Structure 1
Amino acid sequence: MNTSFQNWLSARRSGVLAHVSSLPGAFGIGNLGPGARAFVDLLAECGFGCWQICPLGPTGYGDSPYQSFSSFAGNAYFIDLDELVAAGLLAAEECSSLRALPQGEVDYGMLHERFWPVLALAHERFLDSGADLPGCGSFTAFCLRHASWLQVYADFMALKKHFGGRPWYEWPARWRDWSPEIEATLPESAHREAQLHAFAQYVFFGQWERLRAHAAKRGIHIIGDVPIFVAHDSADAWRWREVLRLDSAGRRLASAGVPPDYFSERGQCWGNPLYDWDHLARTGYAWWIERLRAAMQTCDIVRLDHFRGFDTYWEIPGESDDAREGRWLSAPGHAFFGALKRALPEAKLIAEDLGYITAEVVALRRAVGYPGMRILQFAYGHDDNNVNLPHFVPRDSVVYTGTHDNTTTRGWLESLEGEVARKVDAYFGLDGSRSAWPIMRAAFATVAPLVVLPLQDLLDLPAEARMNRPGTADGNWKWRVLPGQLSALLHDQAERLREWHDLFDRKGDPRQRDYSAPPEHVPATATTSETHSVHAH
């Protein structure tokens, strides 16, 4: 296996982390329309080269993009309904209930209640028109291109509604056990619902492809995100049950999670079924390869969630919700990534290698040549040789001030006390300030080829702007930026950010000297004592 560092990060560049849901939009949640295009333009004006998003899949209870109903589908809430108004499929006043939703944060309950009846109206008129939607190409060709998952997902969502929202493993056996004949035998109401979901995916991907083309025109690469596990209640588990450790009734034989850590004294039980790695090995890891192929066709770069789980993973027995009962088991690691590299040799991946990382996990990541992640907020309050300290950051890494699971950097600074607060103040030269800007500047100055800043940090927002609190099921994924905040950022800080890109050679110029060589020195401590989990969403 090629052991050299991936050459797509040979030039220094930067990016911003902001999920689509957080962007300005007219219908209660960020969407793929003008607000997203304006955000791409802002990134380009400030000198950034990447936009990192969270998973794009449809969400259910808890609203987490890391617990999606499908690994392949898009979130219909991200559709810009104004395009359907322009196409004559909706009247402007039919969207008024959605325009009335608050702009400061997402109210998912009200969004769900109001969105689907409006989209159903557009779908009925689409069927009556017999014409394809402008800018989305041929509907028939779209369905053929995505035949491997589209009908399965549409049927799943239709049956889920038909059975009152219950998970698939609680449906009657006739529908619980997927077969190719299910689509032809759906009840009439479910058949119409399935058509609606297929239409939603057609519109979503048509708009996404145009947004991605706009980003490419402005020189912005999109970094996607693939969760390692799939949700138990998902079209993936319903259709491809054989790749998961489920019994004949669809119940989990074992669940994913992590042992006791920084976030929870009891550990975290995520509820995701574990993989049947023996079955996956016998099939050449075909399901995983197709999942990542779809991700690479949607984004330019992919962050591979919970990289440690490809080496060793925490198994919690049966339906237990106590992670302390678990144990570590081995995953196929090298064999899996060898198959992946043969199938997708051009895939650009970032390994999310946070948490308690063993020497074996470090060796696996370096062997496959993926950059890891370093989080500046994790650099303090632990041992003096912490690998997240800016002066210990290796070249084969991507540096973040924080992630979607962290508090904002200003919120973090405001929470520090005593000796840790003094050290952080001295290290970053804060002089009593609690602004995120000195921390972001330090991230720009590291040797890491790519630095990614959460949008909340660019806006220097307090802890109230946090996106997610691991281990909690409610009240997350609601934060949204207001249009005026982005305008002020562009007006007040664009020049400073452009100067940083020039000062720290982060303009993505491939003519710069090669920064892709592996690090010459790695601190003796290869783990952090603060486990960071991006999966307890």
Structure 2
Amino acid sequence: MRSASIFEDRRCGVLLHVTSLPSANLGNDAYRFVDFLHEAGVTLWQMLPLGPTHSDGSPYQCLSAHAGNIDFLSVQKIREQSWADPEELSAGKIPSIIALACRQFHLNATATQKQAFDSFCQAQSYWLEDYILYREIRHLNHSTAWFDWPDPLRDRDPAALAQLREQRADSLRIRRFGQFLFYCQWQALKNYANERGVSLFGDMPIFVAHDSADVWAEPALFTLTASGDAEAVAGVPPDYFSETGQRWGNPLYRWQQHIDTGFDWWRRRLKTQLGWFDLIRIDHFRGFEACWEIPAECETAIEGQWVKSPGESLFKSLVTEFGELPLVAEDLGIITDDVNRLREKFAMPGMKILQFAFGGDASNPYLPHNHTPDSVTYTGTHDNDTTLGWYQTLDDGARSHLHTYAGHTNESMPWLLVRMALQSVSRLTVLPMQDVLALDGNHRMNTPGTIEGNWSWRFNWKQVSPEAAATLRHLIDLYGRNPILKSLT
């Protein structure tokens, strides 16, 4: 299901990252969550990027734009495979389980199963071989960043890489197999969700991490020195979240190099994401019109400047390659008319955040009466507090505005804002799972501009009351967001 069909009807989605499932993996909890969504009339499951993370756990600073995070693998699902020996796979950490499973697979798998593995490796070779080399070298160098490796490996000397491929062939095969397992488990979950009318809604950061397989493999595409150090890094100027802006630290793109190669890097990147998701949010969409470029030596984002990006040429190239683009633009922050024109030219819905709506005047674009059908309304995102937590810290002026706007209803939070989101004319409304469960700010996912205490929240099934699905479904049906119900009338 692509964006045109998704946005033909009013729908509701729920935002929950894989790490926030009780087991934090692609096992039974993920399938149970799909069942909950189906029962509630929810037809999209939105999540954060799926790549392997650095030690801080941020899914927006991944080690690869293409690889899946093997920490999401369900050991139980591996043990259920016909080629597996469940007894041998009963204990151990994920890397050791993958190593054992790889050996069992090559001993016990059928010819058809082995052919599936070979086909996967061939189809994904445009990123897979660079990625497994990068992870193996990084492991051998005690997890140091690629730009601190010995020069021959840092600079991808052909002889050095050939020697490593020969000497570490077994380890590389295991890493390759780990990605195959992720692919199999992900596709099985996606098929299960799609069969139950639930589309998967992913998230693609505009930038990639400096220390990543992508930058190591093709450094000429990024703002780096010859030794791999960053010349300029990405971020955003001072805004709602931070008085000093946000210095993300990602290298920026050398856009002329991308233009000269026909945006091949971007075509490959989107190809991977389209294999995973039915709909994709592009994080920091405004960066495709202009990026906030910060000199690498600056400690904050204040000293940055806007530098133009070739967004229109890029998206024209992607349309030529893929046809309709199933993309949603994260258009929050400082948005200019040029950014809006770019989004509208390629028919990408934007985002409306209700937590940004109150405390000003009637022109606030996040107030429901200013919403448009070609948008996605959220109570809040993964970067916001939970709606209950937000309400509890709201100043008197914003709180008064909210209650006056809502008609002085006695409905409790977060349900007042949930109802308002579902009432919106936006074709799609997405509710964080924390709001579905009416959880307070102790259950926040991320606080932008901070490092500690993020990305670790999980729900548990005891928090999901027996009537939770029915309560949500009643509101979804009431506001015409159940396309299945529509098809029956």
Superposition TM-score tier, normalisation by shorter sequence:
over 0.9
Q: Which amino acid aligns with 1:122?
A: A
Q: What SS class does the counterpart of residue 323 from structure 1 fall into? A: coil
Q: 2:213 aligns with which of 227, 231, 235?
A: 235
* 1:193 Cα deviation after fit: 3.0
Query: What residue is the counterpart of 1:123 in the other structure?
Result: 102
Taking structure 1 as reference, are residues 509 and 227 closer, same or farther at Cα in structure 2, changes over 3 Å only?
Answer: same
Name the count of aligned residue pairs.
484
Report the counterpart of residue 535 of structure 1 in structure 2: none
Where does residue 500 of structure 1 map in the other structure?
A: 475
**Aligned CA distance change for structure 1 residues 507 and 270 (closer, same or farther; 3 Å):** same
- Secondary structure of 1:403's partner? coil
Range with greater deviation from structure 2 (84-93 or 250-259): 84-93
CA distance in 1, matches of 2:113, 2:435: 35
Deviation at 1:363, TM superposition (A): 1.3
Q: Kindly provide the CA deviation profile for residues 363-419 of structure 1, in whole angstroms up to 9, marking residues without a partner as x.
A: 111111110000000101344411001111111110000101101001001111312
Q: Does the 8 Å contact 2:206/2:287 carry over to 1?
A: yes
Tell which deviates more after alignment, 259-268 or 49-58. 259-268
CA distance in 1, matches of 2:451, 2:259: 34
Match of 1:41 in 2: 35
Amino acid at match of 2:47: I
Tell me if structure 1 keeps the 8 A contact 2:199–2:278: yes
Amino acid at match of 1:121: L
Match of 1:100 in 2: none
The AA in structure 2 aligned to 1:120 is: A
Q: Is the 2:126–2:268 Cα contact (8 Å) retained in structure 1? A: no
- Aligned counterpart, 1:18: 16
> In structure 2, what is the Cα distance between the partners aligned to 1:445 and 1:298?
30
Kindly tell me: are residues 428 and 190 of structure 1, through their superposed partners in 2, closer, same or farther at Cα, counting changes over 3 Å?
A: farther
The code of the aligned residue for 2:315 comes to F
Whichever residue aligns with residue 470 of structure 2, its letter is: E
Could you tell me which residue of structure 1 aligns to residue 305 of structure 2? 327
Paired residue type of 2:19 = S
Shift, 1:182, TM fit: 5.1
Aligned to 2:376: 398
The CA distance in 1 between the partners of 2:115 and 2:42, in whole Å, is: 31
Higher relative contact order (CA 8 A, sep 6+): 1
Question: CA 1:493–1:428 in 2, change beyond 3 Å: closer, same or farther?
Answer: farther
1:307 pairs with 285, 297, 301, which one? Answer: 285
With normalisation by structure 1, the TM-score equals: 0.85
Distance 1:261 1:249 in 2: 33
Letter in 2 for 1:82: Q
* Residue 62 (structure 2) aligns with: 68
Assess if the C-alpha contact under 8 Å between 2:91 and 2:97 holds in 1.
Answer: no
Structure 1 window deviating more from structure 2 (415-424 vs 350-359): it is: 415-424
Which of residues 263, 287, 300 in structure 2 aligns to 1:285?
263
Q: Could you state the TM-score of these two structures normalised by the residue count of structure 2?
A: 0.93
Extract unaligned runs of 5+ from structure 1.
98-113, 513-537
- Deviation of the 1:297 alpha carbon: 1.4
Identify the match of residue 130 of structure 2 among 130, 146, 152: 152
1:51 pairs, out of 32, 35, 45, with 45
Contact 2:359 2:401 in 1 (8 A): no
- For residues 390 and 189 of structure 1, the distance between their equivalents in structure 2, rounded to whole angstroms, comes to 61
1:180 Cα deviation after fit: 5.7
Is contact 1:51-1:221 (8 Å) kept? yes
Q: Counterpart in 2 of 1:86?
A: 80
In the alignment, structure 2 segments of 5+ residues that lack a partner are none
Q: Distance in 1 between matches of 2:364 and 2:113?
A: 50
The CA distance in 2 between the partners of 1:188 and 1:277, in whole Å, is: 36
Q: Report the secondary structure of 1:302's partner residue.
A: strand
Aligned AA for 2:244? Answer: R
Q: How does 1:387-536 map to 2 (within 5 A)?
A: 387-428=365-406, 434-486=412-464, 488=465, 491-508=466-483
- Residue 286 of structure 1: CA displacement? 1.1
Measure the CA separation in 2 of the matches of 1:445 and 1:117. 49
In 1, are the aligned partners of 2:165 and 2:172 still within 8 Å (CA)? no
Identity, % of aligned positions: 42
- Work out which of the residue numbers 245, 249, 252 in structure 1 matches 2:223: 245
2:324: which partner in 1?
A: 346
What is the CA RMSD across the aligned residues, in angstroms?
2.3
CA separation in 2, counterparts of 1:133 and 1:227?
38
Residue type at the aligned position of 1:24: P
Greater shift, 426-435 or 161-170, is seen at 426-435
1:511 deviation in Å?
A: 7.1
Deviation, structure 1 residue 187: 7.2
Q: Which amino acid aligns with 1:51?
A: W
Contact 2:210 2:250 in 1 (8 A): yes
SS in structure 2 of the partner of residue 398 of structure 1: strand
1:273 aligns with 2:251: yes
Change (3 A) 1:434 1:502: closer
Kindly state the Cα deviation for residue 93 of structure 1 after the two structures are TM-superposed.
8.3
Partner of residue 234 from structure 2, selected from 240, 243, 256: 256
Partner of 1:370 in structure 2? 348
**Separation of aligned partners in 2, 1:361 and 1:509:** 35
Further displaced range: 332-341 or 459-468: 332-341
